[in-house]
Structure 1
Amino acid sequence: MLDPAMQQQLKTYLANLREPIELVATLAEGDPNSMKTRDLLEDIAALHPMVSAAFDGTASRAPSFLIRRASDHDAAVTFAGLPMGHEFTSLVLALLWAGGHPPKVDAEVIDTIRGLDGAFEFEMYFSLSCQNCPDVVQALALMAIHNPRISATLIEGGAFKDEVDSRQVMAVPSIFLNGEPFANGRMEVAEILAKLDSGAGDKAAAKIAAKEPFEVLVIGGGPAGASAAIYTARKGFRTGVAAERFGGQLLDTMGVENLPSVTYTEGPKLAAQLEAHVGDYDIDVINLQRAEKLIPAAREGGYHEIVLANGASLKARSLIVTTGARWRQLGVPGEDKYRNKGVAYCPHCDGPLFKGKRVAVIGGGNSGVEAAIDLANIVGHVTLVEFDSKLRADEVLQAKLRSMSNVDIITSAKTTEMTGDGEKVNGLTYQDTGSGEEHHVELDGVFIQIGLVPNTEWLRDSGLELTKFGEIAINDRAATNIPGIFAAGDVTTVPYKQIVIAMGEGSKAGLTAFDYLIRTEPVEEIAQAFQAA
C-alpha cells in the first residue's frame, strides 16, 4: 500500500513513539477498500516493533480502524476509509500522539481539552482532495486522544457514499456532534474548543487586553501580512499579528505553480512555511481574532486602536492592514439557504461529494473554467454559466473545457435563483440577458466562482479611504490617507491579486512602516516621561 519512499518517511516518524500502539481494523470481506486498509495497517505495523495490527474489530463502518494506546484504550481515534492524500499527515500525527509523542500545541490547549466535561461523540466527513480538512481531522484526533470523554470517527466520504447522501453531507469538512450537525468548514482546535467551552472567549479576550501596545501591528495573516511582520521584526520593532486565520486565502488554494523558484506547492503547505518563518522571530501571533473596528490615533505618533470581535482591543504606533479578500457571493435567493447543501465555493474540497451527479459552475473567468475542468473529471455533467457574452478565461483553458464531452457552456446568462426542495439544491434559474427569457437547469450542486471581495466592511466608518469597490486606497509606498496606517495585498488597490505580489507589497509596507516609525516621535511615551519628570 505504501511505496518505499512513504515507508521510509513513516519509519522515521515512528521512531518518536514512546509507548506501544494498537491498530484494530473492521473489514468487509471481498471489499477492495478493506483489502487496501489491511495492506496499509500491515505496512505500518511492519515498520516499528511498538505497533501491532489486528483485524477483529466490530465497528459499525467497514473499512475502518482504531488507533489506540496499548496501555490506555481511551486514548484513541478512529478512521473510516483510507486517510491518504491530504490526510496522510493526519494519520501520522494520530499514530504519534496515541504513542505518547507530545503534540506541538500550547500546554494551555491540552489543559482545556482535558478539562472538558461531558460526553462528546464526534463524526467528521472529509474528502481526500480537501485542503481544508486536515486541520479539522487533526484537531478532533488530538481531542479524542487527550480526553477519554471525547470520541472521534473521521470518515472519508468517498468510501461511504450512501451515508454521505443519507446525512445530506454536501460540503466538507463537515462535523457532527452526538449525531447532530455541529459545524462546517475549516476549523482549528481553538475554534472547536471555543464552541464547546462557553468561557473560552472571555479568557482569550482577557489575555489579549493585557498586552502592551505594539510598535507595529499587522492585521491579517496571509502572504502580505506574514511578509510585513517578518520585515518589521527584522528591523527590531515589537511586532504583533492579529489574524482571523493565519494563512488567509492560501488555505483555500490548491495548486501554486507561479511562485518564482518554487515549481509547485499547495496553499496550506505554503501557509505552514510562512507561519514557521514568522515563528523564527519574536513576533506575537494572535490567531483566530477578527478585527471589527479601527480607531485611528488622535494625533501623529499616537496609538491606533483595533477593537476585536471578542471585545478586546490592541494598540500600536503603526498598523499594516492585510485582511485580504474572500469569495464573492452572487446575492441571489437560495444562495445562503443552500450554502453547504449544494451551494459550494471550493471545487477541490467538495467536488468528490458530487461524483456522477450534475453540477453547475457560475463564472467564466480562469477560476470558473479551471473549476469546471476539474469537476468534469469527477462529476457526471457540468454546466458552466457566464453572465458575459463570452468566456473571459485564458484561451488554453477554454480549449480544454470545450474538448470535454460532459460540459455545456451557457453565456449571456444572469443567474437569478438557487432552487431547492427545502433541504438541498435541486437547480438554478437564469435569465437570458439578450431575450429576457428565463430558464431552469436541474442540478445537484452549484459552485460559485465569480471573483473576490475585499474584507474592509469593518473599516467603512474609520476615516480610511476606500474605493467604490471597497479596496483600501494606497500610494506607491503602501501608505493610506491616515499617517501611521499602511496596507498591502488583495485588500488594497494594487493591481493583480497574486501571492507573489502580496508578498512583495507586504514587504514594502513593512519597510514603509519602519521608515515612518524612525521619523515619528512616540507622543504617548514623551507625555508619560514629561509627567514623570
Structure 2
Amino acid sequence: MLDSDLKDQLQAYLQKLTRPVELVAALDDGEGSRELRELLVELTQLSDKVSLREAREPGDRVPSFAIASPAAGHDISLRFAGTPLGHEFTSLVLALLQVGGHPPKLDAATIDRIRALEGDYAFETFFSLDCHNCPDVVQALNLMAVLNPRIRHVAIDGARFQDEVAAREVMSVPAVFLNGEIFAYGRMGIDEILAKLDASGGARAAAELSEKAPYDVLIVGGGPAGAAAGIYAARKGIRTGIVAERFGGQVLDTMAIENFISVPETDGPKLAAAMERHVRDYEVDIMNLQRAERLLPAGDDGLVEVQLASGASLKSKTVLLSTGARWRQMNVPGEEQYRNKGVAYCPHCDGPLFKGKRVAVVGGGNSGVEAAIDLAGIVEHVTLIEFDSKLRADEVLQRKLRSLPNVRVIVSAQTTEVLGDGRRVNALAYVDRTTHEAHVVPLEGVFVQIGLLPNTEWLKGTVELTPRGEIIIDDRGQTSLPGVFAAGDATTVPYKQIVIAMSEGSKAALSAFDHLIRHSAPAESAVAQAS
C-alpha cells in the first residue's frame, strides 16, 4: 500500500517512539477492512515498538482502529474510523508519535490547560480525505486525547461511513460532535477548541494582552501580507506585533497553489505553516485568535489603538492593516439557514459528501468553473449558474467544462433563494434575467463561488474606503489616517494574489519604518540639543 520511499520516511519517524504502541483494529471481511489491515500490518513491519491485534467491541465502527500505549501511564482513547490516507496520513503519523511518547510541539502553558480540563469529552470528527482543513482539527483533538485521559476522539472518514453521515446530517467537513451534539464546523486548532471549552481562559488572555507594552508597528491580520510585513518590520529591529483572527488567513482555504514563484506546486495549509515558521524565526509577538473590532487614531500619547472583540486593547506607534478578504455570500433567503446543511463554500472539502447527488455552483469565474470541473467527477450532476451573460473564467477552463457530460451551464441567471425542508437543501431558485421567468432546480447542494469581500467593516468611519469596502492607499501603502498603513487583499491594489499581497506587505512595513524614523527624529534632535 505504501511505496518504498514513504516507508523509508515513516520508518525514520517511528525511530522516535520511546514506548510501545498498540494498534487495536475492528475489522471484518469487507474491502475497507482488507485495505485497513494491509496498512496496519505495514506499520508493524516498520518498527518493533508497533504491534497489532484485532478486537471488536460493541459500538466500534468497522473498519476502524485505536492507537494506544500500555506504557503511557493513563488510558488514551484515540481512534480512526476508515483508512487515514490522503491529507489524513500526516494525522496518523503524528498520532503514532505522540501516543508513542514523542513530545508534542506545544508550549507548556497550553499543555497545562489541556490537562486541567475537567469533565468528560467524547469528540467525533467527520473528515474527508480530500479536505485540507480537516487535518488541523483531527490532529488537535488527537493530541488532546493523548494528554488528557478524560478526552476521547474518533476521526471518521465521512465517505466511508455514508449512512452515518446521512443520519447525522453532516453536509460539511470538518464537522465536530461533542458528546453526541454538534460542537463546531470548519477549521480549528487547539487554541480555538480550548477557547470554546474554557471560557475563563479567554478573559485571562484578554487581560494579559491589554498589559502589553506599545509596539513600534502592530500588524492586524496574519495572511501573506501580514506575514511579510512582520518579517520586514522585525528585521529593522523594531518592536513588532501581529494580531490575527487566524494566522494564515484565506491561504488556509486554498487547495492548489501553482503560481508562487520558485515553488512549482504547494497547497495553502503548507504555505501558511511555512509563513508562520518564518515569522517566528524573528522577534515578532504573534497574537492569534483575536479579531479586531475598532481602530482609534493616535491620541495625545501619539499611539494608535486597536480594540479587540475579546475586550483587549493594543497600542502602537504605527499600525499596518492586512485583514484580507473572505468568500462573498449570495445574501439570498435560505443561504444562512442552510449553511453547512447543503450550502458550502469549499468544493475540495465538502465535495465528497455529495457523491452521487445533484449540486449547483454559483459563479462563472475561474473559481466557479474549477469547482464545477472538480465536482463533476464526484457528483451525479452539476448546474453552474452565472449572473452575467457569459462565463468569465479562462478559456482553457471553459473548454474543459464544456467537455463534461454531467454539467449544465446557465447564464444570465440571478439566484433568488436557497430552498429546503427545514433540515437540508433540496432546491435552488433563480430568475432568467433575459425573460424574467422564475425557475427552480432540484438538488442537494449549493457551492458558492462568487468572489471576495474585504474584511473592513470594522474600519468604516476611521480610514477612507471605496464603495466596495477596500482600504484606499497610496503607492507607499499609507491610508488616510497618519501612521496607519495597509496591504493585501483588503486594499485598492488590483489583482488579489498571494505573491502581490506579500510584496505589498513588505512595502507597507518599510513605509511604516520610514514613518517612525521621520517622526521620531525631531524629538531625538531636540533631546540632543538640550543635553
In structure 2, the residue matched to 1:247 is 248
Report the residue type matching 1:49 in the other structure.
D
Name the counterpart of 2:474. Answer: 475
Cα distance change, pair 522–427 in 1 and its aligned pair in 2 (3 A):
farther
The answer to whether the 8 Å contact 2:77/2:151 transfers is no
- Match of 1:314? 314
* Pairs within 5 Å for 1:281-360: 281-298=282-299, 302-360=302-360
Matched, 1:132 2:133: yes
CA separation in 2, counterparts of 1:380 and 1:9?
39
Cα distance between partner residues in 2 of 1:60 and 1:22: 17
Q: Is the CA contact 2:293–2:306 (under 8 Å) kept in the aligned structure 1?
A: yes
Name the CA distance, whole Å, in 1 between partners of 2:33 and 2:522.
69
The separation in 2 between residues aligned to 1:524 and 1:76, in whole angstroms, is 62
Give distance in 2, aligned partners of 1:62 and 1:78: 11
Whole-angstrom distance in 2 between the partners of 1:309 and 1:149: 31
Question: What is the alpha-carbon distance in structure 2 between the residues aligned to residue 57 and residue 42 of structure 1?
Answer: 17
AA partner of residue 34 (structure 1): S
Alpha carbons 1:302, 1:523 under 8 Å: kept: no
Counterparts of 1:483 and 1:5, CA distance in 2: 55
Structure 1 residues 357-410: Cα deviation after superposition (integer angstroms, max 9, x where no partner)? 000000000010000000001111000000111111111100100100000001
Contact 1:76 1:98 in 2 (8 A): no
**Do the aligned residues in 2 keep the contact of 1:324 with 1:455 (CA within 8 Å)?**
yes
Q: Distance in 2 between matches of 1:57 and 1:225?
A: 50
Q: CA deviation at 1:193?
A: 1.0
SS state at 2:75 partner: strand
Question: Which deviations, in whole Å up to 9, do the C-alpha atoms of 1:491-524 show, x marking residues without a partner?
Answer: 0000000011001101111111111111112899
Question: How big is the shift at 1:353?
Answer: 0.2
1:60 to partner: Cα distance: 2.0
| TM-score, length of structure 1 as denominator length | 0.97
Query: Aligned partners of 1:428, 1:47: CA distance in 2, in Å?
Result: 51
Long gaps (5+) in structure 1:
none
Unpaired runs of 5+ residues, structure 2, are none
- The alpha carbon displacement at 1:461 in A equals 2.7
Q: Deviations over 1:122-175 (max 9, x none)?
A: 111000111111110011101111111110000011110111011110000000
Q: Which residue of 2 aligns with 1:465?
A: 464
- Structure 2 match to 1:510: 509
Equivalent residues in 2 for 1:116-265 (5 A)? 116-265=117-266
The aligned amino acid for 2:366 is N
On the 8 A contact 1:474/1:493 being kept in 2, the answer is: yes
Is the Cα contact below 8 Å between 1:317 and 1:522 reproduced in 2?
no
1:335 is displaced (CA, Å) by 0.1
**1:442 paired to 2:442:** yes
The residue correspondences of 1:42-121 to structure 2 (distance < 5 A) are 42-58=41-57, 59-72=59-72, 74-121=75-122
Instruction: Please report how far the alpha carbon of residue 37 of structure 1 lies from its aligned counterpart in structure 2 after TM superposition.
Output: 0.7
Rounded Cα–Cα distance in structure 1 between residues aligned with 2:448 and 2:439: 18
Is residue 302–residue 522 contact of structure 1 (8 Å, CA) maintained in 2? no
- Paired residue secondary structure (1:378): coil
2: CA distance, partners of 1:117 / 1:12: 37
Q: What secondary structure is seen at the aligned counterpart in 2 of 1:110?
A: helix
Report the Cα offset of residue 191 of structure 1: 1.0
In 2, distance between residues paired with 1:7 and 1:449? 39
SS of 1:490's equivalent?
coil
Q: Which whole-Å CA distance do the structure 2 matches of 1:526 and 1:368 have between them?
A: 58
Once the two structures are overlaid, the 10-residue window that deviates more, 76-85 or 347-356, is: 76-85
Deviations 1:89-126 (A, max 9, x none): 11111111101111111111111111111111111100
1:204 deviates by 1.1
Q: Do 1:223 and 1:503's aligned partners in 2 also have CA atoms closer than 8 Å?
A: yes
Residue 69 to residue 331, structure 1, CA distance change in 2 (3 Å): same
The separation in 2 between residues aligned to 1:137 and 1:156, in whole angstroms, is 11
* Counterpart position of 2:395: 395
Residues 194-245 of structure 1: per-residue CA shift (max 9 Å, x gap): 1111211101101211211110111000000000000010011111100100
Shift of 1:264: 0.4
Q: C-alpha deviations, 1:396-443, integer Å up to 9, x for none?
A: 100100100000001110000000000000010000101111000000
Distance 2:101 2:12 in 1: 16
Give TM-score, length-normalised by structure 2. 0.97
**Higher mean displacement: 301-310 or 136-145:** 301-310
Q: SS of 2:19's equivalent?
A: coil
Alpha-carbon distance between aligned partners in 2 of 1:382 and 1:192, rounded to the nearest angstrom:
35
1:525 CA drift (Å): 10
User: Does the 8 Å contact 2:95/2:142 carry over to 1?
Assistant: yes
Please give the per-residue CA displacement for 1:426-485, whole angstroms capped at 9, x wherever unaligned.
0100001011110000000000000000000110132x0100000000011111111111
Counterpart for residue 404 of structure 2: 404
Q: How far apart are the structure 2 equivalents of 1:525 and 1:98?
A: 57
SS of equivalent residue, structure 1 residue 201: helix
**Aligned amino acid, residue 487 of structure 1:** A
**Residues 523/109 of structure 1: CA separation in 2 closer, same or farther (3 Å cut):** farther
Mapped to 2, the partners of 1:314 and 1:81 lie a distance apart of: 46
Using the alignment, how far apart are the partners of 2:291 and 2:306 within structure 1? 10
Identity %: 62
Given that 2:76 and 2:152 are in contact with CA atoms closer than 8 Å, whether structure 1 keeps it comes out as no
User: 1:4-35: CA deviations, max 9, x gaps?
Assistant: 11111111111111111111010121x11111
Residues 18 and 100, structure 1, Cα contact 8 Å, conserved in 2: yes
Q: Residue type matched to 2:140 in 1?
A: A
| Native 8 Å contact 1:338 1:425 kept in 2 | yes
Structure 1 residue 348, shift from structure 2 partner: 0.4
Q: Distance in 2 between matches of 1:129 and 1:456?
A: 31
**RMSD (Å) for aligned C-alpha atoms:** 1.7
* Equivalence for 1:486: 485
8 A Cα contact 1:361 1:371, kept in partner: yes
Q: What is the SS of the residue equivalent to 2:404?
A: coil
1:499 aligns with 2:498: yes
What is the number of equivalent residue pairs in this alignment?
527
C-alpha contact 1:222 1:246 (8 A) present in aligned 2: yes
Alpha-carbon distance between aligned partners in 2 of 1:258 and 1:57, rounded to the nearest angstrom: 48
Q: Does 1:379 align with 2:358?
A: no
Verify the 8 A CA contact 1:429 1:440 in the aligned structure 2. yes
Corresponding letter in the other structure for 2:206 = A
Structure 2 CA distance for aligned equivalents of residues 352 and 129 of structure 1: 8
